[in-house]
Structure formats: C-alpha cells, structure tokens
Chain A
Amino acid sequence: MTYKDKLDRILLKVQKPSRYIGGELNSVEKDPAKVTMRFAFCFPDTYDIGMSHLGMKILYSLINEVPGYWCERVYMPLPDMEEQMRKNDILLYGLESLQPIKDADFIGFTLQYELSFSNILAMLDLAGLPVYAKDRPDLTPIVCAGGPCVCNAEPIADFVDLCILGEGEEVNLELMRLLEQCKAEGTDKHEFLVRAAKIEGIYVPSLYEIEYNDDCTIKSITPSEGAPCKVRKRIIKDFDRVFYPETFVVPFSEIVHDRAVVEVLRGCIRGCRFCQAGYLYRPFREKTVETIEKETISLCESTGYDEVSLTSLSTSDHSEIERMLGTLANYSDAARVNLSLPSLRIDSFSKELVDRIKSVRKSGLTFAPEAGTQRLRDVINKNITEENVMNSCRIAFEGGYNAVKLYFMLGLPTETMEDIDGIADLCQKIIDLFYSIENRPKGGIKISVSLSTFIPKPFTPFQFEPQPTEDVIRERQKHLMEVVNKKRVTVSRSHFDVTHLEAALARGDRRLSAVIYAAWKKGCKLDGWTEYYKYDKWMEAFKECGIDPAFYVNRPRSYDEIMPWDHMDVLLTKEFLIRENMQAHEARPTPNCRKACAGCGVNKCVGRPCFDYS
C-alpha cells in the first residue's frame, strides 16, 4: 500500500486535511528516479505557521532549481494527525513525494524560536529515527539545523549532526554537493562531518569538547579534527542579486500570512540592544527599488495572491523608501492587489502616500516604544521619542483613527518602578492629545498595551544581563495595572511560564540537551501553543536532570565568562557587545549605523564600510 493510500484512510478523520497532502499550486514534484539528493526541509511547527515563513520559501525554491536535487516541505502534525499516523504506521513524510523522510539525504530544521526545540525531537521520532545524533550511525539522513537560533545551538547539540550558521542561500548547496560526493566515495558519516566542518558557516557540535568549571560555567571549548576554533557565519554579499523565488507554494487552506511577501532589505541600522535579529542579520543590505518591483510583480502574478507585503526588520529605513512605495503603489493599484507594510513609521511619510497604502488604514496604528521613559529607551537604544509617538498619533487621529496599540517590555536592565509609571503616563498623554483635537473621530479613544517580558539573548549587548525573577516581573505588572487609566487602556501580558523557558533555552549550554530530551519524554511538544504547553513538565525535567533554570536565566554574567556560544562568530566582536553594554548602563544611546559606525566588526569581515559616510 502506498503512503497516498494510507493517507486516504486517515485524512478525513483529522482537522483541515489539505495541509497534510501537498499538491498545492507551485509545489515541486520531481521524478524520484532522477533525484540524487533529497532534502527534507522541516519547519518544527505546524503547516499554518511554517508555510508562512519566508526563509523556507527561499531555500525551497533555491534547492529545487538544481536538477537532481529535490527539496520537500515537512511540518509538525497536530495531535489528531499524529495519533492517526501512529495508529496506521505512517512515518513522517515529505509533502511533495509522500515518502518517509528517513530515506532523505538531509533532514534540515529551521529554528526560528527556542520554543520549537522539542518539536525537533518529536519530528525525528515520528520519522522513525533515533533523536540522539550518536544513535544514527549511517551517513544519511544527515540531520541539520539553521535559522537564527543556531547562533546558540548548544541546547540541541546532542540531536543534530551539524548546524548552518548565517544565511543559507549559498552554503546549503555546497553542503549538498559535499554529501553527494561522500555518498559516491562511500565515506562514513564521521568523515563527512569532518569535511563539512571545513566549509565556512558549518558547525559540527560533536567535534567540540566543552569543559566546565566547578561553578558550572564553561571552562573551555576545544575543537578537534581540524574543526575551526570559531565558526564564522555566512552572509550574502551581493544582496540585490541574491536568489529570490519567482513564486511561492500557494496553500489550499488559509495560513497565518497568506500573501506574497517581498524582502526589501536585510539587517537593521537601529541597534536596539535587546533585539537579537538586529545584530544577527548585520550588515544592513538593501535591494534596489527595481529589484523589489520586479520580485513583487513576479510573485503576485505567479501566485494569484491579491495581497503583497514588504518585509524586513525595518522597512522604513530603506534609503529610497518614498520612491519604492510610490512605484509599488502604482503597480498595486493597476493590478488590484493590496500592498501592506507592517511596522511602518508613519510620521516620516507624506500623508498622500500613507493614504494610498490601504493596509495602513486597516491594521490601525502600532508603536513599539518598548520602555516607558526616555531614560530607559536610551538604555535599550530604542530611538523612538515621545515626540515621534505624539506626532504620529496626531496624524492618525486627524485621519480618523481612534485606536492605538503600544508594545512595551518589562524587566529590562536598570528598570525601576518609575519606568513603569512612564508607561501609564505615555498612555495618558496620548489620551489627552486625542481629546485636545477638535475634529477627532467620534467615540472615545482605545489604547491597548501589550507587555512582553525581556529575554536576554546571545549576541546582543544584553547577553550578560539577568532576566528578573518571576516575583519582580509580577510586581511590576501589578504596579502598572494600578497606575494605568483602566477606562481607556487595556493591558495584555505575556505568560511568565513561556518567557522563562525561552530565556533558559536561549542562553543555555549543551547540558540542556538532557533536559529537552526529558521534557519531550514527558510529552512536551508544540510548546509555542498555549493549549499544548506544559510548563510543569518542563520544570520537572529540569529538576530530574539536576539543573536549575535560574543558572541560565537570572544570573548576571561577567564580561570575561566564556559563553556557550563563544565559538560562533557572527561577525560581531565581543568587545563591541561589552562596549554597548557599558553604554547601556550609562543610558547612552548609540547613533544608528547610517549616521555613524559603532564599530561592531561586521565591516571588517565584509571588507568595506557599511555606508558611505563621506
């Protein structure tokens, strides 16, 4: 019986079966007889989430352009599907071939958030493979991981064979060629890994030995067999000409971001000190307006989507943003597609332009001041001033809006109750502004405040900082509720349980592999889903492994401590991170990269300054 037959037996018993069967528009089918390398690209979360992810779409198209290479999509089934698969002996399969992924050459995971770690184990197990790398002696499948979380892959070091650090557009193919060669030569897995470790951007955890001090901090990290002391991340130098798919797979069912997406720039000039992405994706590189226009048209036409969105960490920072938006608005008007621009700083644009872009109207007004006072915003280097917020609000209120959404973080380094009061004050000022406007929209103003909890991340100036304990966070949340204008402001909070685990995993070391294994054995998976998240089981797992999460979460780390990720080179110097950390404690902001170079080190590796400062 084929897998298709087996699936036909179960698919009507599960919710939204079309996400488990492939065959969507633009999905790539190849003749298995002509395929020499099969890459099972796993997104360790559900179809609805994974299908929205841009990086996966890029690499999917890239690999499939190579004759003989076949990239398939694999997602985490929800429990109803998993149950049916297990009952009917269906192993995790690729959506293109409907064949088990255990027979693929590569099983590659993209790690976008720490809470997906347990899904790696769940998916390997569903694929019929041992979860520990050491228990998979065969050359194939090689289990690898990429994405932002591999800048500290230590917590999952025991499960994956290798990691791909940085941008995968070039290195993925190099790796596949190497495996193809090794297969032909009949080398074993170890030999392949030793050779792979010589490719820039490839990290093979098993080739590094970690020694610990008595206080549990790391004493040394020692590579063996010619693996580099520092694994250097890969970056695409000519970003304007980097591969970009002409088309996307168009899902049958609705997914989270069901639209065409064009990446307009990579990196960020802002340098917010808590934001890992802002440091990891350096240097700042943008596409030309012409390239962006070409990609937009090609994607819309080949998918039939009637909505396209521009994506990047900070689209407003594109050097030709006005011309770009004008050009795209001309196309979108003519082709009857909606242009949407998440996180646009509307105070910097002409009103005509804002009016032309429909979704700005639709999604309302959002700001992320992140901190309540200017002092704390200077600490975190978030360069939004109260004046920016007020100006944008005024434009918006006069344009008929009466809802504002504000994002803040609690638990930031140096934060005091005064900063919490600052959040309430800012809300009140916005309310007062609203009522001072004569032609304000009818009905009162509504402000929603979303409070997340600060999570210190590797490769940020805050990698040395502790996350405040649960009691402190709760106290500050409580205080805000007491001082904020409850009639006009609604506050939503992140769950402490979730941020706590995320914080532990983000800056964890290799010893956490045992914890992840134990938690998974206790049934933890789909941790990003409130309905499946089992905090108590995770805490039990920590306890059983004799590890206190506070060691990773709440402990200040000294500048000279060896971090679990110190053998990763993401092109930033540690001196820079320390310098930024010191500046933060003095509440001194750092100008954005376009104004002045802060000397993070990236330019040295690229071999030229990031901007023309003349």
Chain B
Amino acid sequence: METKNIRVFFSKTGRAIYISHLDLYRLFQRSIKRSKLPVWETEGFNPHVYITFALPLALGTAGICESLDLKLTEEICREELISRFNDALPRDIRVTDAAEPVMKPTEIALSEYEARFECDNAAFAEFLSSEHIMTEKKTKRGIAELDLKEHLSILGQSDGYLRFTFPSGTEFNINAGLLFDAFEKQTGTEIYTLRITRTAIKCRNGENFH
C-alpha cells in the first residue's frame, strides 16, 4: 500500500502534563481511531495504529513542540488533518501543525525549557552559579554521578524564571526537573509551583527539529 509519512506537532499542557508517555501512546491510538483518519495500521492478529514519538516528554513537564510520526494511507490536507485530530483529542492536547518529516529523531541534540517557580531567589541564583551541580541519574548500568552544570546552558534568568537547555535525544537525555530536584536536595529548601515547559527541540545543526 502506498503510504505517506507525516509528522504531527502537538502541545501537551495544563491537565495533560500528568499523562505518562505510555498512556500518551494509548491516548493517541484511541484518538486516531476516533478521528477516523486514514492512518496506517500494523497487520496481524491484533492490528494497531502505527505511531512513533520523536522524543518522550517527562511526566509533569509541559511541551509546545512535541511530535509524532505516522503514515497516511490516503492524501489528506493539512488543515483537515489538524482539525480532525483536535476534535478527537482531550482539551489539553492540541495538534498545532503537520508536515512531511525532514529530520530524523536521531539528529535531536537538545531541548530548550522555560521554567517558572517560587523559591528562595538568592539561594537559587547562588546554586546556579556554583561550579558543579552534582546529582545522581539512573542509567541502564545503575546509578551514576552526573554534573548538571556541565550540560546546562542558561539562556535567560530572573527571579522565579529560567530559560535553559539540556541535552536531549536517543543517546543522552537529561530531564529538566532534575535541576530543580538538585536544588531542593542541596539547599534543603522547597520550590513551590514549579512549571516547566519544553519550548523547543533542537538538532545537532542548531535547527529546530521539524
């Protein structure tokens, strides 16, 4: 069957940030079924809609440039695809765009985040300027020491606000939340109402993933 690859861009905000990656996968499968869009399904005893996500988003983090790939079995215009998706999705997940994929998910290098939070501002500024920000990260081989500072680049900063990037991708990935966990742990103080949004996904060549 002739199929066409499509990359669907969506946002995941509000109440939807608590949907785990696995549940998001099931959610999109059902939504596609609901939308009756001509999306290619796998063959076999238990056929299912074939979709792949470019990059998982950590539980609790919002995203405005998330994407998934699927195959269409019929030509369908961009506007219709978007509106049929949105009719079938819960309120806090919105499809924003759809296009033929250009880059491969393996080219993804980093994510840009925006965080708004309430905490002891002086302590946070001091924390950010320290030479190392050591934390532990779960890897396949167990727990490893990791210096967050080494991977962090700050794009903008004011009281209760931080714009920054962390490495992302299939090889190496740091969840944005780790930075704030590390702060709480190191200073023994609490962060209130932390809201993190992934605002961009960048490839190795510096371009936005699209």
Contact surface of A with B, Cβ cutoff 8 Å: 1, 5, 8-9, 11-12, 16-18, 20-25, 27, 29, 250, 252-254, 301-306, 336
Contacts and interface: CB of A to CB of B under 8 A. Distances in A.
Pick the 4 closest A-B CB pairs, nearest first.
A23-B15, A304-B30, A304-B34, A304-B33
Contacts of A23: 14-16, 90-92
Contacts of B26: 254
B32 A18 contact: no
A24 B193 contact: no
B19 A18 contact: yes
Nearest to A335: B33
B127 interface: no
A8 B193 contact: yes
A305 B30 contact: yes
Nearest to A18: B18
Nearest to A250: B30
25 contacts: A11-B18, A17-B18, A18-B23, A21-B15, A21-B18, A23-B14, A23-B15, A23-B16, A23-B92, A25-B27, A25-B30, A250-B30, A252-B16, A252-B19, A252-B23, A254-B26, A302-B34, A304-B29, A304-B30, A304-B31, A304-B32, A304-B88, A305-B33, A306-B30, A306-B33
Nearest to B26: A254
B5 to A, nearest CB: 22
A5 B18 contact: no
Interface string B40-56: 01000001100000000
Interface of B: 14-16, 18-20, 23, 26-27, 29-34, 36, 41, 47-48, 59-60, 88-92, 177, 192-195
Contacts, number: 71
Contacts of B48: 306
Contacts of B32: 304
Given A18-B19, A304-B33, A306-B33, A24 B195 contact: no
Nearest to B31: A304
Contacts of A9: 192-193
Nearest to A23: B15
Given A11-B18, A17-B59, A25 B90 contact: yes
Given A252-B27, A304-B31, A24 B18 contact: no
A21 B45 CA distance: 35
B23 A301 contact: no
B91 to A, nearest CB: 6
A65 B114 CA distance: 40
A22 B92 CA distance: 11
Contact of A12 (B31, B60, B88): B60
B30 A303 contact: yes
Contacts of B177: 12
Given A11-B18, A23-B90, A25-B90, A253 B30 contact: no
B193 A301 contact: no
A124 to B, nearest CB: 26
Contact of A25 (B20, B31, B47, B194): B31
A20 B15 CA distance: 10
A424 B188 CA distance: 63
Contacts of A302: 34
A304 B89 CA distance: 10
A114 B108 CA distance: 54
Nearest to A336: B47
A253 B194 CA distance: 23
Given A8-B193, A20-B18, 14 more contacts: A5-B193, A16-B20, A17-B18, A17-B59, A17-B60, A23-B90, A23-B92, A27-B90, A252-B27, A253-B23, A254-B23, A302-B34, A304-B30, A304-B33
Contacts of A5: 193
Contacts of B60: 11-12, 17
Given A12-B60, A252-B27, A303-B30, A24 B90 contact: yes
A17 B41 CA distance: 30
Contacts of A20: 18
